[in-house]
């Protein structure tokens, strides 16, 4: 038995359980492999088994209604949630009548529908309700004093990523668009309290483009702490909580596989060495 495990054995089981309840489900599974003592505690504690069961279902503590005690009632609610998704059984049907132009920018993420207003200075939000998760229906609108080009969001982090512009006329009937990326609170529209300015490359871009192509510039994707933007065949990924740049690479398109990996699409000649399309953001 290691000295670390020996320390655990000297503590009351209730204290060990209190420590372990602060871990996510992957860490709990790892703890089971450390010693027989920890495996016994994890396997014999309903609350810890509930955390693992939630994680296996793609959920986290607090995702469902009721206490997170791992009681039979909690497990029954989780089983009902998984059965509903497995069989696509909806508890409620509702038709949303959308009067805004569907060609405007919109996103559906984390149970929240968002659409950019025709004025391009406001975003309309609709929270989809969920009885099992205790989420109520809600609608709200965020107004901005800038022209929004595109946006993305992560409701689980209360994060709204805005790309807004300020056009300046230049020669030959062209425009220079000064683009700014700002990180806002999804619920209030204020600056996000956890956002840190990116290091190495400013959020501010200056693009000299024709007016007819400005809609296609700077798509944004969010995955955990990472934000990726793609502009003029350049992909830039950075951690929005630390400001540290994780990746800068030429490519045609990209998609996050998870918080540690991004899949990029690139075009190469027949005789050009082709790098791996899957890039690790946190190489070990």
Span 31-53, pLDDT tens digits = 999 889 999 999 999 999 999 99
Where are the domains positioned within the chain?
3-87, 106-280
Structure tokens at 87: 């069989």
Residues of the chain scoring pLDDT < 50: 1, 200-216
Residue with tokens 């919109």: 106
- Other CB atoms within a 10 A radius of the CB of residue 155 amount to 16
Contact (CB, 8 A) for 111 and 155? yes
**pLDDT tens figures, 182-221:** 899 999 999 999 998 765 444 444 444 444 444 445 688 9
3-state SS assignment for residue 11: coil
Looking at residue 119, the DSSP 8-state letter turns out to be T
3-state SS assignment for residue 259: coil
Claim: this prediction has a pTM higher than 0.85 = no
What's the order of all strands across the beta sheet hosting 159-169? 147-154, 159-169, 175-185, 205-209
Q: Which residues pair with 236 in a beta bridge?
A: 229, 248
CA angle 36, 42, 46 (to 5 degrees): 145
């Amino acid at each position: 038995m290691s000295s670390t495990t020996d320390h655990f054995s000297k503590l009351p089981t209730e204290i060990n359980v209190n420590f372990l309840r602060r871990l996510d489900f992957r860490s709990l599974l790892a703890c089971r492999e450390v010693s027989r003592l920890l495996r016994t505690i994890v396997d014999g504690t309903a609350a810890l088994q509930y955390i693992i069961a939630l994680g296996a279902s793609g959920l986290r503590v607090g995702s469902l209604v009721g206490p997170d005690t791992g009681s039979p009632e909690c497990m029954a609610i989780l089983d009902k949630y998984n059965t509903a998704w497995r069989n696509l059984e909806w508890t409620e049907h509702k038709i949303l009548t959308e009067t805004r132009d569907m060609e405007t920018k919109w996103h559906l993420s984390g149970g929240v529908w968002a659409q950019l207003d025709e004025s391009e200075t406001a975003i309309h939000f609709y929270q989809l309700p969920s009885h099992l998760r205790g989420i109520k229906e809600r609608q709200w609108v965020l107004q901005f004093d800038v022209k929004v080009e595109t946006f993305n969001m992560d409701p689980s982090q209360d994060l709204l990523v805005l790309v807004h512009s300020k056009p300046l006329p230049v020669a030959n009937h062209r425009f220079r668009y000064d683009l700014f990326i700002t990180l806002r609170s999804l619920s209030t529209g204020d600056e996000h309290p956890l956002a840190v300015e990116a290091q190495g490359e400013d959020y501010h871009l200056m693009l000299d483009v024709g007016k007819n192509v400005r809609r296609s510039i700077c798509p944004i994707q969010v995955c955990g702490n990472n934000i990726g933007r793609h502009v003029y065949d350049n992909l830039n990924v950075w951690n929005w909580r630390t400001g540290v740049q994780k990746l800068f690479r030429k490519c045609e398109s990209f998609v996050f596989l998870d918080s540690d990996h991004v899949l990029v699409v690139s075009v190469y000649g027949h005789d050009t060495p082709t790098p791996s399309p899957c890039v690790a953001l946190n190489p070990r």
